[in-house]
Amino acid sequence: MKKILSLSMAAVMALSLAACGGSGDTAATSGSTATNATAEGASSSEITGIAQVCDVGTIDDESFNQGCWTAVEAFGEANGIQVDYYLPPSEDANDEDRETLIRNAVNDGANTIVCVGYLYGPSLAWAATEYPDVHFIAVDVTVADIGTETIPANVYCITYKEEQAGYLAGYAAVKDGFTELGFLGGMAVPAVIRFGYGYVQGADAAAQELGTNVNIKYWYGGAFSGDANITAKMESWYSAGTQVVFACGGGIYTSALEAAVKYDGKVIGVDVDQNYIGEQGVEDGKYSYNPFVTSAMKGLSEGVTDALDHVAAGTWDTIAGTNFVYGLQEGDYVGLPTAEDSWNFSTFTVEEYEAVKEKIRSGEIIVDNNSDDATKPTTSDFVTVDYQV
C-alpha cells in the first residue's frame, strides 16, 4: 500500500490546471473531464464513474482540492473512466448542500466518490446508508467527524500526520536564519491546527538548538481563500518585520503572497509543492523574485490513488471501514520538496533536512499531534507565540 511521495509536484499540478471551471445548478458547481468509460474499461474495473465532491474553495486552489483532483483526473484518464467534480455553492455550505453534491454525483453515474474535507463527516453518515453500493473515499475525515461508532463499511478514511510536515517547515525556516515567523491558517480545523502546531514545535526545536530567540504571529483568517481583509492583515505583519509566513488553507496563500512581495517577504506553501507558483510569477513579470521558501506537503494524490487502485483491483474490502493515517512512519507521505528547483533555503541543507526527518520517522523526535485549538503547544523560553484573534 505504500507509495513514495513525489517531492516535486510542479509538473503534475500544472497539468491539473486545465480541469478548472464548469457550471451547474444553485446547489453545486460541477465539471467533468476524460472520456466516458469504454465497455472494456467498465468490465475490467469496479469503477463506473468517479466524482470528487470538494471542500470549500475552488477546484484550482493549487492546494487541497486540486491536490486530490490531480489523482482523480489522472486515474480517469489512465483508465478511460468518466470523472467529475462538484463544488459547494459557497463557503457557508451546510450538510444538506453536501448531501446534494453526493446525490448529484450518484445520479450522474459515479459509483466511487472522493469526499474532500472533514465537513463531509455528517453527510457521509447519511450517504453510506443511502448508497451502500458506492465506494466513499473520505480525505481528512475521521470516524469522529462522521459521528458513528465505527467507520461505515463502504467508507475509507484517509488522514495525514500534518504535524510532521509542519514541524519540518518550522524547523527548516529557523535553521535557515528566519527569526520572525508567521502562521496564517484558513480555519481552525483539525488538519490546519496540526500543521500550525507542528510548525511551532519545529521552530522551537531549532531555536533551542541555535540558542536564538524566535517570534511567531499566529492567526486564522476564517476562510480558505484570500481576500482584501486577510491581505491587509498580512501586510501589517510583513511591514512590522515578519520575514516568512506559513500560509495554510487552500487559496488563502494568495493573500500572504500578495503582501509578501510588497515587503520582500517570504512564504511557505502547503499541501503540495507550490514553488512553481512563484516561478511562474517571476516568469510572467509579477514578482521580482520567487517568494516561496518551501512547502509543507502531504501526499494527497498518493492517498487518493492508493484507494482508487484498491477499488479497481477488487481489493476494496481490505481497506473499507478503516482509517489509514499517512506519515513518515508509513512512507514519505509528508515532508518538504527536495528537488533542486524547489529547494530555496540559503543555508539549511538537504542533508540536514533528511537527518531531522529520519529522527521523526524513527521516533527519536515525537511531534505532538494535538488538534484542539484550545490547547496550545508548549514552547521554550526561546520562542514567543502571539496567538491573534
Question: Concatenated DSSP letters for 28-47?
Answer: -EEEEES-PPPHHHHHT-S-
* Beta pairing, strands 214-220 & 266-271: unpaired
Contact predicate 82/32, CB 8 Å: yes
Alpha-carbon distance of 69 to 97, in angstroms, equals 20
pLDDT of residue 90: 86
DSSP 3-state of 307: helix
Alpha-carbon distance of 376 to 346, in angstroms, equals 30
Alpha-carbon distance of 158 to 379, in angstroms, equals 30
The one-letter code for the residue type at 246 is: F
Give the residue ranges of DSSP H helices in 160-273.
Answer: 162-175, 190-210, 228-239, 253-262
pLDDT of residue 293: 98
pLDDT of residue 14: 33
Per-residue pLDDT of the chain (389 residues; tens, 9 = 90+): 333 333 333 333 333 333 333 323 323 445 544 333 332 332 234 799 999 999 888 898 888 999 999 999 999 999 999 999 999 998 889 999 999 999 999 999 999 999 999 999 999 999 999 999 999 999 999 999 999 999 999 999 999 999 999 999 999 999 999 999 999 999 999 999 999 999 999 999 999 999 999 999 999 999 989 999 999 999 999 999 999 999 999 899 999 999 999 999 999 999 999 999 999 999 999 999 999 999 999 999 999 999 999 999 999 999 999 999 999 999 999 999 999 999 999 999 999 999 999 999 999 999 999 999 999 999 999 999 999 99
pLDDT tens digits, 193-237: 999 999 999 999 999 999 999 999 999 999 989 999 999 999 999
pLDDT of residue 8: 33
C-alpha cell at 332: 514519505
C-alpha cell at 42: 467498465
Alpha-carbon distance of 266 to 281, in angstroms, equals 14
pLDDT tens digits, 242-262: 999 999 998 999 999 999 999
Q: Hey, what domains does the chain have and what are their CATH numbers?
A: 10-161+300-326 (3.40.50.2300), 162-297+335-387 (3.40.50.2300)
pLDDT tens digits, 257-300: 999 999 999 999 999 999 999 999 999 999 999 999 999 999 99
pLDDT of residue 294: 98
pLDDT of residue 233: 98
**Cα 95 to Cα 27, 99, 125, 354, 384, distances in angstroms:** 12, 6, 11, 42, 39
pLDDT of residue 5: 34
Q: With CA atoms as reference, report the closest residue to 144 among 132, 157, 128.
A: 157
**Cα 294 to Cα 268, 270, 313, distances in angstroms:** 5, 9, 36
